[in-house]
Chain A
Amino acid sequence: MEKKKVIDEMYIPDVGSQIETIDGKEYLITNDAMYTFYRRTKGEFSPFFLALKNEKRLLGCKCTKCGLVRVPPFLTHCPDCNFVPTEMIEVEQVGIMNSTPPITYFATSMFQHMAPYGRGRVIFRGADTALSINLYTTTGILVPGIIKKGTEVKLIFRDERIGEMTDVFCIPTAELTQEEINKNGLQESEINWEVPVEPSLPDASEEDMARYRKALAELKSLIGDMNGNESARKAIAGWKRDIQVKTRGGQFAVLIDDGDIKLEETVLSSPDFIMVCDDLNILLDGLAYRGAITDSVINKKIWISKNMEFNTIFKLDRMARFLVRSKKT
C-alpha cells in the first residue's frame, strides 16, 4: 500500500503572514494551524473494523434481552434494557435505505476528492438500526432520484482497506447482477463501472454558428465585467485554472489566475480540465446568474473532465452571484 501522510502536503501552508488594510488601518494576519496527532484506539469497535478490513464481514450487536440488533455494534450493553449485555453477530450485506439520502456537491477540503457523494443510512438484513455509509452509482455522477427511501443497496468493499468506514460503500442492487448481489465481500474492482467519456459534439449548422458567435460575444463582455469587478474577483483570489471550453460551434479557453479571468479563442495544449457544453448559452446563463453552472453539471447539460473541478465550478457560480449582488448595492 502506498505510504501516505496523515495530512496531505497540499493542505499545509507555509509559515508567513500578510497585512490587510481596512479603513486606513493595518491588520496582521498570520498563517497558522491547530493540530494534534493521535494513536487512537478503536476500542470496543475493533472487531467491527477488523471484520470489515480483514474478513469483508459486517457485524452488529444483539441485545440478549430485547433482541434489538444494532449495526454498527455501538455498545456492549443495551441502554433500553437497563444495560444487559449484547452479543456480536454478523448481518447480511444487502439492505434498504432508511430514508432518501442527501448528496454533497460542495464538500470540505478533506472530501473534495470524493464529491459529489451521497451519505445515507442503510438498514441491512438482520439489523434494526441504520448504518451511516457512502453511496455511489456505477452510472456516473450521483443525482437525486437514483437512491431513495426503500431503495435496495449492496455493501461494496474497497480493494484496499484500512479499518475505517471508508473501506465500504453502497450502490443500488438494481445496477448489479444477481450473482454480484449474492456474493459476500464484493469488491469495487469486481463491478462494472461506467467510465466517463468526453461527449462528442455534432457538426454545427450555420444557424448554430450564428448562435455560438452571439453567445460568445456576450460571454466575452460578461467576463470582461467580472474581471473589472472587485467583488467578483474575490471569488477567484488565489486560484489558478486553465479551462478548455468545447461547444457546438467552436472552442475557447477560460483562464483564471488569482483574481484575473479572461477568455481567449485558443486551444490549450494542457488544460487543467475540459468543459463540454453543446449549447454555449447554458454556460452563459450560469455566468449571468440565470441558473447555476453547478446544477447544469449535475443535470448533465455541462460535462467536466474531472469531478474534483466542481470546486472551480463553485467559484464561477460565486463570481456570477457576486457580480449581480455588487451591481444591486
Chain B
Amino acid sequence: MSKRIGIVGAGVTPFKGTWREKTYYELAQMAAREAVKDAQIEISDVDAAFYGIYNDIFERTAIPEHAIHGLLGMQNKFGIRITNGGATGAYTMSAAHAYLAAGRFKTALVLGVEKATDCFDFSSMSATPEVIKTIGWSGDSFFEQGIGWTASDSYAEVVLAYLDEHPGDLKPEITARISAQLSQQVRDNKYAQRQFDQVTPEEVINSRLVVYPFKELEICVYTEGAAALIFAEEETAKEISRNNGTPVVWITGVGEANEHSFAGKNQKNMSRIMSDYYASHRAYEMAGIKDPTKSIDIVELHDAFVHQLEISMAEFGLVPLGNADSLIEDGLMTPGGKYLVNPCGGLIYCGHAVGASNIMSAWSARNELIKRGLKTALVHGTGSTVAQYTACLIFEHV
C-alpha cells in the first residue's frame, strides 16, 4: 500500500527576465531556504532531493545539479535530477511523490531552477534569439533542428491542426481576452516577472506575430528563477503541520504520458494533445475523481501559449473539445467563474523559468487552496516537441 504524500512547505524566488545578481547556485539556495522556512524545519530534516533543471546549455554545464546538492546541505543523501522538457517541474514532483509513496524517504526537497538569459546572441545583440536557439537544440537532431524547429513552431503545429478540425474555436478575440485576464491576475503575485504589465485585449491583438498564429502577448516569457517544495509522507506531514500551523495539501493524484514525437498514421494525431488527456485522466483516476467538472476548483496550467491553454483545458475534460472558447464566452474562467485558472498569472505573466515553472505553479495552487479554502486543484506541466510530454497532479486541501 503506497503512502499518502503531502506538501508541507513551499518557496519561490522572484521570477525575473534576468538575474545579473545571482547564479543558479544562489537561486536554488534562495528557494530552498524559503521552503524549509515555510515548513519550519531544518534542511538536515530533509531526506532526499529531487532537482528539476531542464537544459544543461542554459546552466552552461552538464549535470548542473551536482554543485547544488552540497550547497544546499544535502551532501551524503539521495539526489536525482529530472529533465523532461517543459514538463520538467511536474515530472520532478511526480518522481518525488513516487519515491515517498514507496516508503523510501519520509521527506523530500523538490527544487526547480533555471537560468536562461545568460545566453546571448552577439549577431543581434539580444538574448532572446539565443534562448530560442538553445531550446532549439531540444528538437529532433537528424530531421528537424536543421530546418528551423523551435518550441513555438512545434506548439503552433498542434494549435493549427486543432483549428483545422475546429475552425470556429480559439478565436483571436478570446485568446486576447484570456491573455488580458492573466495580466490582471498577476497583479497579486509579487514574485512575478510581469506583475505590473497589464495589457488590454486590443494590445494583445495588435502585438506582433512571432510564429503564426502566436502573437507576442500570447506567449510565455523566458525567465530566471527557482521554486521549491517540501514533500512529506503522511505522519511526518501531520507532525510538521501541527508544528507550523499550516494545513497539509495532499497530493491525491498523479498522471503522466508522453506521446509519439512524429506525425501520421500510428504516430501523433497533431490536432490533439493526448498527453494532456491521458495524464490528467490518470491523475483523476488515482484521486478518485469521476467528473472533473464537478471536482476541480483551481487549475494551475502550464500556459506556454494561450491557444494551448484552451486546448489543454479541453483535454482535461473541463470544457468541450471544439468549444474551448466557452472558458470566456460562458464565463467558466472569468473572475468569479467555475474555474480559477492560473491565479499566479501563469507562465505568460509570472514567467517561465523552465525547470522551476511547474513547481512555481504548485506553490501557487497550494497557497490558493489554503487561502481561499478551496478543495481541489489540478497542476499541469507540458513540454517537448508538439506538446509531447505531460505530467499532472491533483492537490487536495481538506
State whether B206 touches A292 (Cβ < 8 A): yes
- Specify which of B152, B203, B265 is in contact with A129 (CB 8 Å cutoff): B265
Question: Could you tell me if B152 and A104 are in contact, using CB atoms closer than 8 angstroms?
Answer: yes
A93-115 with Cβ < 8 A to chain B? 98-112, 114-115
B152 & A22 in contact (Cβ 8 Å cutoff): no
Report the separation of the CA atoms of residues A239 and B125 in the bound assembly, to the nearest whole angstrom: 7
Smallest Cβ-Cβ distance to A293: which chain B residue: B208
What is the chain B residue whose CB lies nearest that of A45? B142
Chain A 129-178 residues near chain B, CB threshold 8 A: 129-134, 144, 148-149, 164-166
Q: B153 touching A104 by the CB < 8 A rule? A: yes
Q: Is A238 an interface residue (CB 8 A)?
A: yes
Within 8 A of B (CB), among A21-73: 22, 25, 27, 29, 31-32, 34, 42, 45, 68, 70, 72
Which of B57, B126, B146, B213 gathers most chain A CB within 10 Å?
Answer: B126
From B206, which residue of chain A is reached at the shortest CB distance?
Answer: A291
B112 within 8 A of A: no
Q: Considering the complex, which residues of chain A in the window 266-306 have a beta carbon less than 8 Å from any beta carbon of chain B?
A: 289-295, 298
- A129–chain B nearest beta-carbon distance, Å: 3
Asked if B130 lies at the interface with its beta carbon under 8 angstroms from chain A, I say: yes
Distance, CA A74 to CA B260, complexed state (A): 12
Q: Could you tell me if A329 and B196 are in contact, using CB atoms closer than 8 angstroms?
A: yes
Contact across chains for B148 and A134 when beta carbons are under 8 A apart: yes
CB contacts (< 8 Å) of A290 on chain B: these are: 206
Interface stretch (choices A116-124, A185-193, A247-255): A116-124
Given contacts A102-B211, A129-B265, 18 further A-B contacts (CB under 8 A): A10-B123, A13-B122, A22-B20, A99-B263, A100-B164, A102-B156, A108-B150, A109-B121, A109-B123, A111-B148, A119-B144, A131-B143, A134-B148, A148-B164, A149-B164, A237-B125, A239-B124, A295-B208
B residues 191-225 touching A (CB-CB < 8 Å): 196-198, 203, 206-213, 216
Distance from B48 Cβ to chain A, minimum over Cβ atoms (Å): 30
Chain B hits for A114, CB < 8 A: 148
A125 CB within 8 Å of chain B: no
Interface residues of B (CB under 8 A from A): 20-21, 57, 60, 121-126, 129-130, 132-133, 136, 140, 142-144, 146-150, 152-153, 156-157, 160-161, 163-164, 196-198, 203, 206-213, 216, 262-267, 270-271
A1 at the interface (CB under 8 A from B): no
Residue of A nearest to B210 (CB): A106
Q: Are B122 and A165 closer than 8 Å at their CB atoms?
A: no
CA distance A22 to B122 in the complex (A): 22
**When chains A and B are docked, how far (Å) is the Cα of A273 from the Cα of B143?**
34
| A311 contacts B by Cβ under 8 Å | yes
In the bound complex, residues from chain A placing their C-beta under 8 Å from that of B211 are: 102-106
> Are A105 and B209 interface neighbours, CB within 8 A?
yes
The answer to whether residues A294 and B208 also contact, given A99-B160, A130-B263 and a CB cut-off of 8 A, is: yes
Cα–Cα, bound, A115→B156 (Å):
16
Within the complex, what minimum Cβ distance (angstroms) separates A13 from chain B?
4
Q: In the complex, what residues of A have CB within 8 A of residue B121's CB?
A: 11, 108-109
Contact, CB under 8 Å: B148 / A292? no
Query: In the bound complex, what is the Cα–Cα distance between A212 and B216 (angstroms)?
Result: 30
Q: Please list 5 pairs of residues, one from A and one from B, whose beta carbons are closer than 8 Å in the complex, sorted by A's number.
A: A11-B121, A108-B129, A121-B157, A134-B148, A148-B164
In the bound complex, how far is the Cα of B250 from the Cα of A141, in angstroms? 53
Contact B21 A27 (CB under 8 A): yes
CA A119 to CA B203, docked complex, whole Å: 28
Complex CA–CA separation, A314 to B263 (angstroms): 32
Please give, as numbers and ranges, the residues of chain B lying within 8 Å of A98 by CB-CB distance: 161, 263-264, 270
Q: Interface size bucket, A side?
A: 35 or more
Task: Give Cα distance in the complex from A235 to B377, angstroms.
Answer: 39
Known contacts A72-B143, A99-B271: A109-B130 contact under CB 8 Å? yes
Q: Are B157 and A101 in contact, with the CB atoms below 8 A?
A: yes
Inter-subunit contact B209/A294 (CB<8 Å): yes
Residue among B123, B152, B164, B270 with max Cβ neighbours from chain A (10 Å): B123
Q: Which residues of B contact A239 (CB under 8 A)?
A: 124-125
Q: Is A92 an interface residue (CB 8 A)?
A: no
Whether A102 and B208, one on each chain, are in contact in the complex, defined by CB atoms closer than 8 angstroms, is no
Report A-chain residues with C-beta under 8 Å of the C-beta of B207. Answer: 292, 321
Q: Which of B143, B150, B271 is within 8 Å of A132, CB to CB?
A: B143
8 closest residue pairs by CB, A with B:
A238-B125, A129-B264, A102-B156, A292-B208, A99-B161, A108-B133, A294-B208, A128-B265
Indicate whether A109 sits within 8 Å of B129 (C-beta atoms), given known contacts A11-B123, A165-B144, A166-B146.
yes
Contact A109 B124 (CB under 8 A): yes
Task: Give Cα distance in the complex from A27 to B136, angstroms.
Answer: 29
A6 within 8 A of B: no
Instruction: Judge whether B147 and A134 touch: CB under 8 Å.
Output: yes
- Cross-chain contact A100 with B161 (CB below 8 angstroms): yes
Of A22, A31, A104, A131, which one neighbours B148 at CB under 8 angstroms? Answer: A104
Instruction: Name the B residues within 8 Å of A121 (CB-CB).
Output: 157, 263-264, 270
CA separation between A100 and B170, bound complex, in Å? 15
Complex contacts, A109 vs chain B, CB 8 Å: 121, 123-124, 129-130, 133
Cα A99 to Cα B121 with chains together (Å): 32
Cross-chain contact A328 with B198 (CB below 8 angstroms): yes
Q: Which chain A residue shows the least CB distance to B62?
A: A34
Are A130 and B262 in touch, CB under 8 angstroms?
Answer: yes
The residue in B125, B129, B209 that gathers the most chain A C-beta atoms within 10 A of its C-beta is B209
Tell me, rounded to whole Å, the shortest Cβ–Cβ distance linking A255 to chain B: 17
Q: In the docked arrangement, what's the CA distance between A321 and B125, Å?
A: 18
**A20 in contact (CB, < 8 A):** yes
Residue of B at shortest CB range from A21? B20
* CA gap between A161 and B320 in the complex, in Å: 47
| Residues B136 and A34 in contact, CB atoms below 8 Å apart | no
- Chain A contacts of B267 at CB under 8 A? 129-130
CA gap between A216 and B208 in the complex, in Å? 23
Closest residue to A25 on the B side, CB-wise?
A: B21
Complex-state Cα separation, A200 to B209, whole angstroms: 27
Q: Output the least CB separation between A198 and chain B (Å).
A: 23
B208 contacts A99, C-beta separation under 8 Å: no
Whether A22 contacts B21 in the complex (CB less than 8 A), given A103-B211, A123-B264, comes out as yes
Chain A residues near B130 (CB, 8 Å)?
Answer: 108-109
- State whether B212 touches A107 (Cβ < 8 A): no
Does residue A197 face the partner (Cβ distance < 8 Å to B)?
no
In the complex the two chains form, is A27's CB within 8 Å of B20's CB? Answer: yes
Instruction: Return the contact of B262 from the options A74, A102, A144 (Cβ within 8 A).
Output: A74
A213 interfacial contact with B, CB 8 Å? no
